Chain A
Amino acid sequence: MNEDIANYALEYAKSKKAEYAEVRAQSQVQEALMMRSGLLEAYLSSVDSGFCVRVIANGGIGFASTNKWTKEEAKEIVDLAFKYAKAAGRKDKIVFAEEKGVKTKWSVEQKTKIEDVSPEEKISMFLEVDKALVSCGVKIAATMLRCMMTLTSKYFVNSEGSQISSFVPNIGAFMFITVAEQGKTEQAYEQFGYSGGWEAFKEWNVAEKLIHNAKVLSNVITKGQAVKPGNMDLICGPEVTGIAAHESCGHPMEADRILGREMSQAGRSFIFKGGPYWIGTRIGSDVVTIVDDSTIEHSYGYYLYDDEGVKSRRRFLYKNGIINEFLHNRETAAKLGMRSNASSRSTNYDREAIVRMANTFVLPGDISEEELIGDVKHGIYMKSFTEWNIDDKRFNQRYVGREAYLIENGELKHPIARPVIETTTPKFWMAVDAVSKTVEFDAATCGKGDPMQGVPVYTGGPCLRLRGVYVK
């Protein structure tokens, strides 16, 4: 990464009298391994670096990027970005919400540097996981494991005086297992993610979690019973809480969806100006508070400044059941007369930063999981999910349980095979009458953008108790 070239590009853009200009340079050192049923399919290693220029001119936005680090190329992409910005010919001109220039450096610490652990050691640790899994007593038909380690350095400068350097090491792993017993198959995936060093691997307890999943799948096949459809209480485990928070709170609260900018790609939102839901509208019971927080150290979605150079903070999306604050970048914030809350993220220098979540979760309450379950006469405990669907407005949705149990008179009974809830966003969150006191997170990759930009996030929360929902 060549900061001088990035600075040169910015100065050249400023000399062209841009209304706004920024240069974002990024370098990514990546390692990835893929294993299939205990065999190493491939090990990948690469270095990618380049920079982009984004300008506002004549009220339009132009963006151009390259991985050629020369002044000639820098001039060329600045000129191109200008040409595109002007060609937009917008009636209502784009402006950005006000921000002061920031000069800072930030980074994430690695206790054990990813680059100090040899590829042999990394491979051997994952082979051990696979070995432990296939000898756990459950018939595993197939496993697929992917691990990606990325060291990302960024350098951001803009025409308002910002100059921000950052370094984030990041490690993510994805495992998919198939259990085949009694002529039936069930599948589960587990994702792990961490901002930091290789120390993550030990903290994850990968083998333990996968073995647990394998046993759960075996139980579903051999002991799982269908639920008798009807209205009943539902306890959602943190994994189910997390996916619901992400899909039916985080996504519809993205201001670019609300303003229609994603109407043909990610979709719109059930929240729109003049509609039945807006800031101040009740969407859930008063025990429901959902936040998006990029400042949780070592979380998968951690960052201190977003890709527009805005300082990150916790964002209260639904607060005590009320729609409270949208996720904004500087463009959407200006359109709604607000300030950016640092939700602008991009996966690489060649992608436009768009409005994204970081770590979205339900805040905890003050009762234990046992108390939550203990107060259910007849219901289902959906501890994890195997499938979910949601419409593009993020209103109608469905969750299918993976690990689930019948609850009778406050006690867990036999496993339930694939219980299904079909509901809407307000129905789901209004039905919550209590939340437990322990928050758990799951790593996930949030997909949005065209071309697709998968960004690392956490989803999570405590257990939720929903009263009288229809389960089938």
Chain B
Amino acid sequence: MKDSEKKFTVSFTELECKSCKKLLTRKFEYGDIVFEENGACDQCEGNLLVVKIFGETIG
């Protein structure tokens, strides 16, 4: 494989606080599911909802 063909994808999860609507993006963790609650907001302690999971290709 040529160096130019070496690509890899990094997966991210975007979460939104259901109370203050703050958006947070972090690396994807196994078990993350879109539209399921996952943790608490560090600002208002509201429930965080996974709103997007996406991949970004690097290389």
Real complex partners, A and B? no
A residues with a Cβ closer than 8 A to B are none
